[in-house]
Amino acid sequence: MLATAFSLSVATTFAQGDADSMMKMLDDEDAAVPKKEDVNFTFKATRLINGSTTESLGAGVLDMRISHRFGKINQGAENFFGIDNANTRIGLDYGITKYLMVGIGHNVLGKENDGFAKVKILQQKTEGMPFSLSFLTGASIQTTKAPTLPTTDMKWYFSNRVCYFNQVLISRKFNDKLSLMLMPSILHNNLVDSTKFDNNTIALGVGGRIKLSKRVAFTGEYYYRFTGTDNNVGSAKTYNSLSLGFDIETGGHVFQLHITNSPGISERIMLGQTTDTWSKGDIHYGFNISRVFTIVKPKEFKKH
């Protein structure tokens, strides 16, 4: 009897030891398998400088954005180096779901009203998906007074005021310091200044963010146009848009400081009607202020 009990005790001990070893091996295997988690905060705002990023607002989140561009720095002391001349855009963006956001805005320059929708299609993961992909589509309407037409039988149509824009936004966060983005873009103007000009402007934007400290990052974006390069605004030649800036995080605000050759803030002006150039010192100082509000509390927080 004693021998039998001893044998059972030893067998149980070894069985338990084998089970513990097996569980440890399984735990080690689970730890070795990388978890596919979302890569967040590729950029700190839904706009980089003038253009959009792949970032979207959370569901029920409202973002009030005020964008300001001063006049050209080379206007001299008479115009206080551009500060006496300014352009402003006030916008409201809203997250409908974590994958869909919409926005509206008004631009002083051109008295332009705009609206857009942005859909997040792919999200970068720690394993597997190497980049994020969003699609942005929108339109803008100029509300300036209709021009005087040469003859009374000619009509000024509402469609003449409208332009459309579409962008595919592709970004990758390489590490905690560096994020880069490609922005293939197309802008369509229903009306251009001359029959020799292109109604469509096709461009490729490149942008990036380099984190300098916990709350400060250096940003930049450039849009190279493949078509529409010969388009003029009146007698003024148009150029590619180049912007450089800094993002400063201050709690609920993201404060963006930048310099750019684009006097306008909308896609219509930035992509197709940038009439200033860095080579002549036609540089505008500006800033964006973003303030986020939670309008609809997420379900997981409603019980608290």
Give CA–CA dist 40/53, Å, rounded.
13
Q: Where are the domains of the chain?
A: 61-294
- Predicted confidence (pLDDT) at residue 2 exceeds the cutoff of 50: no
Give CA–CA dist 267/241, Å, rounded.
11
Tell me if the domain spanning 61-294 has CATH number 3.30.360.10: no
Confidence of residue 95 (pLDDT cuts 50, 70, 90): very high
- Percent helix, percent strand, percent coil in the chain, to nearest 5: 20, 45, 35
Dmax over CA atoms of the chain, in Å, equals 119
- Predicted confidence (pLDDT) at residue 169 exceeds the cutoff of 50: yes
Can you give the pTM of this predicted structure?
A: 0.84
Q: Which of 10-24, 83-97, 130-144, 232-246 has the lowest mean pLDDT?
A: 10-24
- Predicted confidence (pLDDT) at residue 18 exceeds the cutoff of 70: no
Query: Could you write out the DSSP letters of every residue in 234-300?
Result: TTEE---EEEEEEEEEETTEEEEEEEES----SHHHHHH-----GGGT--EEEEEEEEEEESS--GG
CA angle, 208 as apex, 203 and 213 as ends, to 5°? 160
Give CA–CA dist 279/276, Å, rounded.
9
